[in-house]
Amino acid sequence: MHLKSTRCFAGPFRNASRRRRYIALMTQVIITTKANGPLIVEGPVRIVTPDGRELTPPARKDGKPAEVVVLCRCGGSQTKPFCDGTHKRNGFQDGQVTPG
């Protein structure tokens, strides 16, 4: 059986101007891995659960909205996917870095 599709699946990037806006936004995002710690995400990002709910990053200690998103890598955070500092207590160690 031979199947032929008449539609091209390009998802949300079918429109060229939408694709350009997406690329422009993504170039503003920086993800930094902290040694033996979390991922620090700077820039305009949204954290969305598998069921589509948007999560609000925890506020800073001074109560102001977070300017960066800090994501857990150790798996021990009580506020997943956000980091709560548990990596400092559970002895999390970075794995081997694979050159890419």
3-state SS assignment for residue 88: helix
The 10s digit of each residue's pLDDT in 7-49 is 444 555 567 887 777 677 667 889 999 999 999 998 888 899 9
List of domains in the chain: 33-95 (3.40.5)
Q: Mean of the per-residue pLDDT values for the chain?
A: 81
Model pTM score: 0.68
As a whole number of angstroms, the distance between CA 41 and CA 97 comes to 19
In 3D space, the residue among 28, 9, 10 whose CA is nearest the CA of residue 19 turns out to be 10
As a whole number of angstroms, the distance between CA 51 and CA 15 comes to 26
Is pLDDT above 70 for 95?
yes
